[in-house]
Amino acid sequence: MVTAGEGVALGIESRVTKLENESKNEGVPIFGHVIEGMGNVGGSDTSTTDPVASLFSAGVGWLVDSIGFIREPIDKLQGNPAAIQADVDRLAKVSDDLKFLARDQRDDITSLQDWTGGAADAYRSSMKLLRDEIAGLSKAVGGFGTLLAVSGGMVITLRQVVRDLIVNTISDLIPGAIAAIALAFWTFGASIAIFIAGAVIAAVTTVIKCTRRIVMLKEALGRQVGRLGTLEEISGDIVTSLARFEKAVGAKGVSPA
């Protein structure tokens, strides 16, 4: 729970920073590197073409009947980088606005330094706490943005990784498919049958690699949900603390959740 006194913002900042760092590190076991937040979600993922389509352009579209399932991992990884980034940007703006508000609150307190007495001390103490609470809320909102960016970034990045794995597998298979056709007459079609068997094995191997990463992603996103819950608790504690102003003026507004 948020408690009165100095250091509220510092305590919240420490908790949120820990959540953000844990979130970013979720990408290490999946991609081999951290996934940064609040930046360009998805990075260079602009690919919308079906990687299996290259089989048709290479003149071996018949292979789709045997390895068409290789595209399924991509279908499991949907995401709109532009929409996610727009949400992240909105949260970043709210966080910045709250940060500036906390700064203004600090300046207002400084301007009252000539006011003395018990009432003055109580007012300044309350306003300092309010400044810390606003700063803490700014950090919490920023944390929401970071977790959203990291979660979305993991999905988009994995989609690109999976697509590259599939594209590379298909590219490796195309020369063999062409060669199998060329040899079909001399082998009475056996070259095609042998090649298809090998192609299916290669496609299955790729799907297994992709599925393993997708499972890891689902586990990581599950942990992200837990972190979002913690951020909700932090924000809720701040809102609960701010309810003291309603009590002070006898307001009967909606109670914070």
Contact 64, 54 (CB under 8 A): no
pLDDT of the residue at 118: 74
Token pair of 216 as six digits: 């890891």
pLDDT of the residue at 76: 85
Which residue carries 């600090």 as its tokens?
A: 106
Can you say whether the dihedral through the CA atoms of 211, 217, 218, 219 is positive or negative?
A: positive
Kindly report the average pLDDT of the chain as a whole number.
85
What φ, ψ does residue 78 adopt, rounded to 5°? -100, 150
pLDDT(217) > 50:
yes
Distances (CA, A) of 50 to 64, 166, 205: 12, 10, 19
- Separation of alpha carbons 140 and 11, rounded Å: 11
For the segment 220-241, the average pLDDT, to the nearest whole number, is 93
- Separation of alpha carbons 157 and 65, rounded Å: 28
Q: Give the other-Cβ count within 10 Å of 83's Cβ.
A: 11
pLDDT of the residue at 149: 92
- Angle 140-105-241 from CA coordinates, rounded to 5°: 50
- Which of 47, 33, 64 shows the shortest CA–CA distance to 199? 64
pLDDT of the residue at 20: 94
- Separation of alpha carbons 169 and 51, rounded Å: 10
pTM: 0.79
Share of the chain above pLDDT 70, in %: 84
pLDDT class for 180, splitting at 50, 70, 90?
very high
The least confident of 52-56, 69-73, 106-110, 200-204 is 106-110
The least confident of 22-26, 103-107, 167-171, 214-218 is 103-107
For the segment 156-173, the average pLDDT, to the nearest whole number, is 93
Q: What is the pLDDT of residues 4-38, one digit of tens each?
A: 444 666 788 899 999 999 999 998 998 888 887 66
For the segment 171-181, the average pLDDT, to the nearest whole number, is 95
- Which of 236, 19, 250, 257 shows the shortest CA–CA distance to 133? 236
pLDDT of the residue at 222: 96
Amino acid at 80: N
pLDDT class for 162, splitting at 50, 70, 90?
very high
Which residue carries 């990075």 as its tokens?
A: 43
Distances (CA, A) of 105 to 1, 83, 120, 123: 23, 33, 16, 13
Position with higher pLDDT, 110 vs 63: 63
